[in-house]
C-alpha cells in the first residue's frame, strides 16, 4: 500500500516544482517588462524634456491708488521646461487681511506659456475701499493694513496632467485719507481796489499713518462766493504722518470785484471763504492725488500791530 503511494507523491512534487519555476519565470518576465517600460518612459521623458513648470511672485505693483480704490498688479514669473507650449487654464486669486477676505476672483483661459521659455503673467486686482470699510468697521481711513495675496495657477502639462501651482506673497497697503486744510490767515502785502497782493497762510493736517511728500498743490480760493484766483504751487514739502504742516502761498486779486463783501470785511463783519484743490504727493506705496477742501470758514480784514492789513480765520 505504501509502495503504491510513492509514485504519486513524487509526481506531485515534480508538478509543484515545475509550477514554482514557471511562476518565477513569469514573475521575472513581468518585472523585466515593467522595468523595460519604465526605462523607456524615462528615456523618452528625458529625450523629449518634459517636466513640471515652476512659478514665483516676482513683484507687486500699485499703479493707481486714491481715496476710492487701489489697483494692484501681481507679476508671476512662470517657467516652462517642456518642448511644447502649455496652456494656463485658470488663475484663482485672493487678497485677505488677518484672514478676512478683501477681494477674490477667477481669470479663465489666461494664456499660454511658450515652450522652453519663461513669461511674466500679470494678474490685475482692484480693492474698493468703500466695500472694505462697510464690511469691516475696524478698518479706518488713514490706516495701514497687512495683506496676503494667494494665487493658484492651473496648468495642463503632458504626462503630468493638470497641475495647480500655489503662490503666496505678504505686504501692507494703506487706506488713504484726505488731508485737512485751513486758511489760517491772509496777509496783505499790497492793498488797492485795482490789485491786491497777499500771502495765504495754510495749515495742512496729514491724518494718514504714513508720510506724504508734497510735490504740487493745485488750489482755488473763493471769498463770499467770488473766486479770487487759482494757481499751482510746485514746492516740495514733507507732510509728516499724523502731523501738521504750514505753508505760505502768494496770490493776487482785484478787491473791487467783490462788491459789498469787501465792505463787510473792511467793517469787520467777516465774509465766508472756500478753498478747494488737490495735492500731488509721493508715498511709500506710490504717487497719489488727494483732494483738499475747506468750506464755511470766515475771514476779517483788520490792522495788525505794524500797520499792515491781516485777515484772520474764525
* Chain segment 45-79, per-residue pLDDT in tens: 555 567 889 999 999 999 999 999 999 999 999 99
> What is the chain's alpha carbon radius of gyration, rounded to the nearest angstrom?
38
Cell of 283: 508715498
Eight-class DSSP state of 235: -
> Is a pLDDT exceeding 50 seen at residue 307?
no
8 Å CB contact between 265 and 209:
no
**pLDDT at residue 135, rounded to an integer:** 87
Distance between CA atoms of residues 126 and 144, nearest Å: 17
CATH 2.60.40.1820 placement within the chain: 54-174, 180-313
Percent of the chain whose predicted confidence (pLDDT) is above 90: 45
Closest by Cα among 167, 171, 97 to 136? 97
Residue 278: the pLDDT is 93
pLDDT at 12: 57
pLDDT in tens, 174-200: 999 999 988 887 777 777 777 878 888
CA distance 113 to 111: 7
Could you tell me which residue, 294 or 126, shows the higher pLDDT?
126
Beta carbons within 8 Å of 216's beta carbon, 6+ residues apart: 232, 233, 234, 279, 280
**Mean pLDDT over each residue of the chain, to the nearest integer:** 81
Has this prediction a pTM greater than 0.75?
A: no
CB neighbour list of residue 246: distance below 8 Å, 6 or more residues apart: 184, 201, 202, 203, 204
Tell me if residue 207 falls in helix, strand or coil: coil
Q: Using the 8-state DSSP alphabet, how is residue 143 labeled? A: -
Report, as an integer, the average pLDDT of 168-178. Answer: 94
Residues 290/204, Cβ–Cβ less than 8 Å: no
Q: What pLDDT, in 10s, does the model give residues 153-164?
A: 999 888 888 999
The angle at the Cα of 141, spanning 140 to 145, to the nearest 5 degrees, equals 65
Q: What local confidence, expressed as pLDDT, does residue 264 receive?
A: 63
Query: Containing H/E element for 147?
Result: strand 144-157
Q: Give the span between the Cα atoms of 312 and 188, in whole angstroms.
A: 11
- Is residue 252 within 8 Å of 227, Cβ to Cβ? no
DSSP H or E stretch at residue 186: strand 180-190
Instruction: Find the DSSP H helices in the chain.
Output: 2-48, 129-135, 260-266
Chosen CATH of 54-174 out of 3.40.50.10190, 2.60.40.1820, 3.20.20.70, 2.70.240.10: 2.60.40.1820
Give per-residue pLDDT as tens, 202-237: 899 999 999 999 999 998 888 777 787 777 777 788
- Predicted confidence at residue 28, as pLDDT, reads 59
Q: How far apart are CA 221 and CA 277, in angstroms?
A: 9
CA 106 distance to own-chain centroid: 17
What pLDDT, on the 0 to 100 scale, is given for residue 236? 82
pLDDT at 270 over 70: no
Counts for the chain of helices (H) and strands (E), in that order: 3, 16
Alpha-carbon span 189 to 296, nearest angstrom? 25
- The whole-angstrom separation of Cα 207 and Cα 181 is 11
Q: Of all residues in the chain, what percent are helix, strand and coil, respectively (each to 5)? A: 20, 55, 25
Q: What is the CATH code for 180-313? A: 2.60.40.1820
Kindly state the average pLDDT of the residues 111-140. Answer: 91
Amino acid at each position: 500500500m505504501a509502495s503504491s503511494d510513492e509514485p504519486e507523491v513524487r509526481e506531485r512534487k515534480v508538478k509543484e516544482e515545475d509550477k514554482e519555476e514557471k511562476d518565477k519565470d513569469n514573475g521575472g518576465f513581468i518585472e523585466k517588462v515593467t522595468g523595460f517600460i519604465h526605462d523607456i518612459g524615462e528615456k523618452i521623458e528625458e529625450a523629449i524634456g518634459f517636466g513640471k513648470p515652476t512659478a514665483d511672485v516676482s513683484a507687486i505693483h500699485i499703479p493707481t491708488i486714491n481715496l476710492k480704490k487701489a489697483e494692484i498688479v501681481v507679476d508671476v514669473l512662470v517657467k516652462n521646461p517642456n518642448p511644447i507650449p502649455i496652456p494656463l487654464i485658470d488663475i484663482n486669486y485672493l487678497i485677505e487681511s488677518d484672514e478676512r477676505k478683501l477681494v477674490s476672483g477667477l481669470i479663465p483661459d489666461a494664456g499660454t506659456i511658450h515652450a522652453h521659455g519663461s513669461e511674466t503673467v500679470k494678474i490685475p486686482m482692484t480693492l474698493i475701499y468703500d466695500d472694505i470699510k462697510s464690511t469691516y468697521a475696524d478698518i479706518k481711513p488713514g490706516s495701514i493694513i497687512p495683506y496676503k495675496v494667494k494665487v493658484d495657477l492651473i496648468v495642463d502639462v503632458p504626462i503630468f496632467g493638470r497641475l495647480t501651482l500655489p503662490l503666496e506673497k505678504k505686504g501692507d497697503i494703506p487706506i488713504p485719507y484726505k488731508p485737512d486744510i485751513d486758511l489760517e490767515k491772509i496777509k496783505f502785502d499790497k492793498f488797492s481796489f485795482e490789485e491786491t497782493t497777499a500771502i495765504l497762510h495754510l495749515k495742512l493736517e496729514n491724518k494718514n499713518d504714513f508720510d506724504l511728500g508734497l510735490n504740487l498743490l493745485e488750489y482755488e480760493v473763493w471769498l463770499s462766493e467770488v473766486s479770487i484766483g487759482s494757481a499751482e504751487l510746485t514746492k516740495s514739502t514733507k507732510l509728516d504722518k499724523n502731523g501738521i504742516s504750514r505753508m505760505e502761498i502768494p496770490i493776487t486779486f482785484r478787491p473791487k470785484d467783490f462788491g459789498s463783501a469787501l465792505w463787510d470785511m473792511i467793517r469787520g463783519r467777516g465774509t465766508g471763504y472756500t478753498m478747494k484743490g488737490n495735492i500731488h504727493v509721493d508715498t511709500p506705496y506710490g504717487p497719489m492725488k488727494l483732494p483738499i477742501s475747506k468750506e464755511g470758514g470766515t475771514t476779517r480784514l483788520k490792522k495788525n500791530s505794524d500797520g499792515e492789513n491781516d485777515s484772520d480765520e474764525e
